[in-house]
């Protein structure tokens, strides 16, 4: 699992590459835990190369969801593979989180 | 009848042989009434050979006389026996001398013949004792090869007994050659004197004296026999001369060789002894650990061994800084050190900046040392040796001596060995402690697994309107999956299944919590006005469960669950899904298998009243023959060798094939198929599978 960050003025894009399991969830958690994250307006998660997400991986997003909302930072997922989207959907997260098909839509969100 | 030891028969045989030997010797001399004269020579030789063989075999099969490394004890035992036998011979000779003054010393004198026969027997006993004492010494620390060589040597010695019996002609050259060969074999065996290296100085002196004694006895016997055989008074019969000669030669040569080696060893014995003491101290150190002794004890042994080995006049063992929790040494150990000197040492011996321990210091002339200057006027040399590994500091050893240049390189290398061994010992102790803790954790996990197993419903609900079959398998000792059933009044059945995110003990703990919440919420509400309000509906159940979990679930954890309330009277069920896997369903009327694709958010994700909007109660009317398959994601996410997931589709197809079977059979079919699919792969998530099949009600009997 590789996490790369692309910060711009008001948007932080995280590109996830590989399987997000219990061990890689720690890396992502550290990234989302950085205090400067609340300075952005949007945090975009590029899921194009995310091939698997475990409950620990979902837990990272869930635990930061409230904090980001409280600080008025939008969390948007895009380019999600169907298999991964299924996992979000079964857990009911699709109704809670902003998941859009393309990067352009994510930028516009 | 008491059991006779087999070796006792050798004594009986020896006795019989000796009697025959005596009689045949007597028959050679003056006629004795009732005894046939001049028995043939072979009878005598046979009796001698038999006696020798019996005595040697008896000695051979005695228990090993060498106890541990008590070589002096072994030699003393041989010496005392030899002394007894020689004194016996001396007494006999004395008696013979006395009697010969009163009678005529004619050839064929009976007394002389008896004394000679007894003396010959004593000598053979002595040789047998000596040979088998040497056997213990030769084979000490020898291998199987040496033991085999020894056996060959014994056999060859035995053959010489036969040699005299037969009159066949052996060419002198062969006789001489084989004699020399056997002699060389004996000399070769005499080279095995490893035991001498294990003697202390005092023991070496004792060994030398005892071996001299043994040599003396041998010479005494040989002199007597030689004299007796040339004594005209004795009509001397032939003897087993080769056997005696070879045995005497070996007995003497081994004793001589041992004696000389011991003698040459004496000058270096002191050095050996010192080395031995050092090795013993090291051994002591390692053994202390094996016995699981305490840290203070290891310090004490190191301290006393170091003082002894380094011949230190004063010493101290300084504890590591208080921050070092691994140490068990709280107060410094001191030896012959004044308070002033100790204070001086403590003031100088502080770790250099940036390091947690002292460097090693060796000063051989303190009066000229810039570091110590005049701080320690009473001492001339010092060694400071830190005890540490990469992680821990275990303290500092300080040795002082009045002598300049007291701590030479050899002493230092031994001290290094001591300190290294000590550090190793501490590491071992720590490892042992960690292993113990690990074991404890394992045991506790096992107990946790047992406790969790008890949380799984033992008895499945039974009634004539449905069948239930279950399967559950945890990936680790304890799991995060759970399920439960509860019969409610009026032919109702509540079913709960769920999965706590994460694995291990934390997850297992929350499964217990969910079971508690389930049973607490499913209590009948006595204040309910309407019958259907008596128990919470699935939506209310989920909302209340979510609230109950709010304060006890870590922020990154969540729980997926599905809850079903089946009502036989109404022929239907209501259910709610909180982020759990979709329920698979076989409709018997439509003959169709499909998933209930409903919405619903997992528990613990939204921790406020807002959750209410994210979960719904659904209703469904069932028909007899309908099948409900409820499971956790461990089933559909089971992977094959290529990383493919089992998936919802394959599960659906499975039910299409086996819906007509009983619940137990369907459960078994699916489980088997999942296992086939992921054969050879480790179970990476808990798996739970419930199959409920609705039946047409049987009329009550």
Residue A85's domain is classified under what CATH number?
3.30.750.24
Residues B269, B311, single domain; the answer is no
Q: In terms of DSSP bridges, do strands A2-7 and A11-20 run parallel, antiparallel, or are they unpaired?
A: antiparallel
Q: What are the φ and ψ backbone dihedral angles of B466, each rounded to 5 degrees?
A: -155, 165
* B340: containing domain: 302-416
Same domain, yes or no: B596 and B686? yes
* Domain shared by B253 and B329, yes or no: no
Buried b (16+ CB within 10 A) or exposed e, B219-236: ebbeebbeebeeeebbbb
End-to-end CA distance of chain B, in Å? 80
Residue B177 in domain: yes
Last residue of a domain, one of B391, B416, B441: B416
Q: Is residue A55 part of a domain?
A: yes
CB atoms inside a 10 Å sphere around CB B127: 24
Domain boundary among B381, B416, B451: B416
Chain B residues with CB under 8 Å of A59 CB are: 501-502, 556-558
- Tens of pLDDT, residue by residue over B639-684, are 998 989 999 999 999 999 999 999 999 999 999 999 999 998 888 8
Contact check, Cβ <8 Å, A96/B606: yes
Nearest-angstrom CA–CA distance, B21 and B295: 70
Based on its alpha-carbon atoms, the radius of gyration of chain A, rounded to whole angstroms, reads: 13
Q: Which of B430, B353, B440 is nearest to B389 (CA)?
A: B430
3-class SS of residue B194: helix
Tens of pLDDT along B279-288? Answer: 777 777 667 6
Nearest of B56, B129, B120, B54 to residue B88 by alpha carbon:
B120
Rounded to the nearest 5°, which phi and psi values hold at B96?
Answer: -60, -45
Rounded to the nearest 5 percent, the helix, strand and coil shares of chain B are: 55, 15, 30
Q: What is the pLDDT of residues B493-531, one digit of tens each?
A: 999 999 998 777 888 888 888 988 999 999 888 888 887
A109 in any annotated domain: no
Is residue A62 assigned to a domain?
yes
The pLDDT, as a whole number, for residue B210 is 93
**Residue B253 shares a structural domain with residue B316:** no
Rounded Cα–Cα distance for residues B470 and B458 (Å): 11
pLDDT digits (tens, 9 = 90+) for B238-268: 666 778 888 888 888 888 898 888 888 887 7
**Tell me, what's the pLDDT at B365?**
86
- Is A55 in Cβ contact with B606 (below 8 Å)? no
Please indicate if any CB of chain A lies within 8 Å of the CB of B579: yes
* Amino acid B110: pLDDT: 77
Percent of chain A at pLDDT exceeding 70: 100
Mean pLDDT of B167-178: 75
Inform me whether the C-beta atom of residue A68 falls under 8 Å from chain B C-beta atoms: no
Of B9-18, B549-558, B585-594, B613-622, where does mean pLDDT reach its minimum?
B549-558
Test the A interface: residue of B556, B580, B608, B616 with most A CBs within 10 Å: B556
Which chain A residues are Cβ-neighbours of B578 within 8 angstroms? 92
Residue tagged 């008025």 (tokens): A72
Answer yes or no: do B602 and A92 touch at CB < 8 A. Answer: yes
Question: Does residue A24 lie in a domain region?
Answer: yes
Instruction: Give the number of C-alpha atoms closer than 13 A to the C-alpha of residue B227, restricted to the C-beta side.
Output: 11
Minimum Cα–Cα distance from B480: chain A residue = A55
Q: Are residues B496 and B380 in the same domain?
A: no
> What angle, 0 to 180 degrees and rounded to 10, lies between the N-to-C axes of helices B110-139 and B144-163?
160
The interface pTM score, or ipTM, of the predicted complex is 0.91
Average pLDDT of chain B to the nearest whole number: 85
What domain count does chain A have?
A: 1
- pLDDT recorded at residue B36: 78
Out of B502, B555, B578, the one facing A63 most closely (by C-beta) is B555
**B312 and B268, same structural domain?**
no
Domain extent for A28: 2-103
Do the chains contact at A63 and B602, CB–CB below 8 Å? no
Say if A94 falls within a structural domain. Answer: yes
- Residue A32, domain member (yes or no): yes
Are A91 and B556 in contact (CB < 8 Å)? Answer: no
DSSP secondary structure code for residue B496 in this structure: E
DSSP A41-80: SEEEEEEEEEEEE-HHHHHHHHHHHHHHHHTT-EEEEES-
**Any residues with CB less than 8 A from the CB of B210 and at least 6 apart, and which?**
B72, B75, B76, B78, B79
Is B523 among the domain residues? yes
Q: Does the residue A63 lie in any domain?
A: yes
What is the rounded CA–CA span in Å between residue B9 and residue B15? 10
**Domain of B620: which CATH number?**
3.60.40.10
Domain-embedded: residue A108: no
Pair B247, B362 in one domain = no
Whether residues B181 and B37 fall in one domain = yes
Q: Which DSSP string corresponds to B230-291?
A: H-TTS-PPP--HHHHHHHHHHHHHHHHHHHHHHHHHHHHHHHHHHHHHHHHHHHHHHHHHHT
Q: Is A82 on the interface with B (CB under 8 A)?
A: no
What total of structural domains would you count in chain B? 3
Contact B558 A59 (CB under 8 A): yes
Task: Extract long-range pairs of A33-36: CB within 8 Å, 24+ residues apart.
Answer: A33/A64
Residues B558 and B684 in one domain: yes
List the CATH number of the domain containing B318.
Answer: 3.30.450.40
Average pLDDT in the B298-311 region?
84
């Amino acid at each position: 699992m590789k996490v790369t960050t692309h910060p711009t003025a008001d948007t932080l894009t995280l590109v996830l590459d590989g399987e997000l399991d219990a061990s890689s969830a720690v890396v992502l958690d550290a990234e989302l835990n950085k205090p400067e994250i609340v300075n952005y307006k949007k945090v975009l998660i590029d899921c194009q190369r995310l091939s698997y997400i475990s409950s620990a991986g979902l837990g990272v997003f869930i635990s930061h969801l409230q904090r980001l909302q409280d600080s008025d930072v939008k969390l948007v997922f895009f380019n999600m593979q169907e298999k991964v989207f299924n996992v979000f959907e079964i857990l009911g997260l699709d109704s809670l989180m902003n998941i859009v098909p393309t990067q352009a839509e994510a930028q516009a969100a | 009848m008491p059991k006779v030891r087999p070796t006792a028969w050798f004594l009986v045989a020896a006795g019989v042989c000796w009697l025959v030997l005596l009689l045949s010797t007597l028959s050679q001399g003056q006629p004795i009434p009732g005894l046939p004269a001049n028995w043939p020579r072979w009878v005598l030789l046979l009796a001698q050979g038999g006696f020798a063989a019996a005595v040697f075999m008896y000695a051979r099969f005695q228990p090993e006389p060498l106890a541990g490394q008590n070589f002096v004890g072994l030699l003393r035992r041989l010496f005392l026996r030899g002394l007894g036998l020689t004194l016996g011979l001396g007494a006999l000779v004395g008696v013979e001398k006395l009697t010969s003054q009163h009678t005529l010393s004619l050839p064929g004198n009976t007394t002389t013949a008896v004394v000679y026969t007894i003396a010959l027997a004593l000598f053979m006993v002595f040789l047998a004792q000596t040979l088998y004492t040497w056997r213990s010494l030769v084979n000490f620390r020898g291998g199987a090869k040496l033991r085999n060589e020894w056996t060959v040597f014994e056999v060859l010695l035995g053959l010489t007994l036969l040699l005299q019996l037969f009159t066949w002609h052996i060419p002198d050259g062969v006789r001489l050659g084989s004699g020399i060969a056997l002699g060389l074999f004996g000399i070769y065996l005499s080279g095995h004197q490893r035991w001498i290296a294990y003697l202390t100085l005092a023991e070496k002196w004792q060994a030398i004296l005892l071996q001299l004694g043994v040599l003396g006895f041998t010479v005494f016997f040989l002199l007597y026999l030689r004299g007796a055989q040339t004594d005209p008074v004795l009509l001397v019969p032939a003897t087993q001369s080769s056997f005696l000669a070879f045995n005497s030669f070996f007995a003497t040569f081994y004793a001589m060789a041992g004696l000389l080696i011991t003698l040459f060893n004496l000058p270096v014995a002191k050095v050996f002894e010192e080395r031995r003491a050092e090795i013993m101290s090291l051994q002591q150190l390692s053994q202390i650990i094996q016995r699981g002794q305490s840290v203070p004890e290891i310090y004490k042994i190191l301290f006393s061994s170091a003082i002894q080995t380094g011949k230190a006049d004063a010493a101290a063992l300084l504890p590591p800084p208080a921050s070092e929790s691994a140490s068990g040494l709280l107060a410094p150990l001191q030896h012959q050190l004044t308070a002033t000197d100790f204070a001086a040492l403590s003031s100088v011996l502080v770790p250099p900046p940036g390091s947690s321990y002292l460097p090693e210091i060796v000063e051989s002339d303190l009066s000229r040392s810039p570091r110590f200057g005049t701080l320690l006027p009473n001492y001339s040399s010092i060694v400071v040796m830190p005890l540490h590994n990469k992680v821990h500091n275990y303290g500092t050893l300080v040795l002082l001596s009045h002598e300049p240049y007291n701590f030479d390189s050899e002493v230092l290398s031994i001290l290094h060995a001591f300190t290294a061994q000590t550090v190793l010992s501490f590491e071992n102790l720590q490892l042992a402690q960690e292993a113990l803790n690990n074991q404890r954790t394992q045991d506790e996990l096992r107990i946790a697994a047992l406790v969790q197993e008890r949380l799984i419903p033992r008895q499945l609900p039974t009634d004539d309107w449905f069948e239930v079959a279950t399967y559950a398998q945890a990936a680790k000792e304890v799991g995060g999956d759970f399920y439960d059933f509860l019969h409610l009044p009026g032919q109702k059945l509540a079913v709960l299944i769920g999965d706590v995110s994460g694995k291990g003990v934390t997850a297992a703990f929350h499964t217990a919590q969910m079971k508690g919440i389930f049973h607490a919420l499913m209590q009948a509400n006595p204040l309910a006005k309407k019958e259907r309000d008596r128990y919470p509906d699935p939506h209310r159940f989920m909302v209340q469960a979510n609230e109950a979990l709010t304060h006890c679930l870590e922020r990154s954890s969540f729980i997926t669950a599905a809850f079903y309330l089946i009502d036989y009277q109404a022929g239907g069920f209501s259910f709610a899904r909180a982020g759990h896997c979709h329920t698979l369903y076989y409709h018997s009327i439509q003959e169709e298998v499909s998933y209930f694709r409903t919405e619903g958010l997992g528990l613990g994700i939204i921790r406020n009243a807002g959750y209410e909007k994210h979960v719904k109660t659904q209703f469904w009317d069932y028909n007899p023959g309908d099948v409900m398959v409820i499971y956790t994601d461990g089933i559909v996410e089971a992977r094959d060798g290529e990383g493919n997931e089992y998936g919802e589709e394959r599960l659906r197809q499975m039910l299409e094939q086996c819906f007509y079977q009983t619940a137990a059979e369907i459960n078994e079919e699916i489980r088997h198929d999942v296992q086939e699919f992921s054969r050879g792969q480790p179970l990476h998530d808990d798996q739970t599978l419930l199959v409920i099949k609705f039946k047409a009600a049987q009329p009550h009997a």
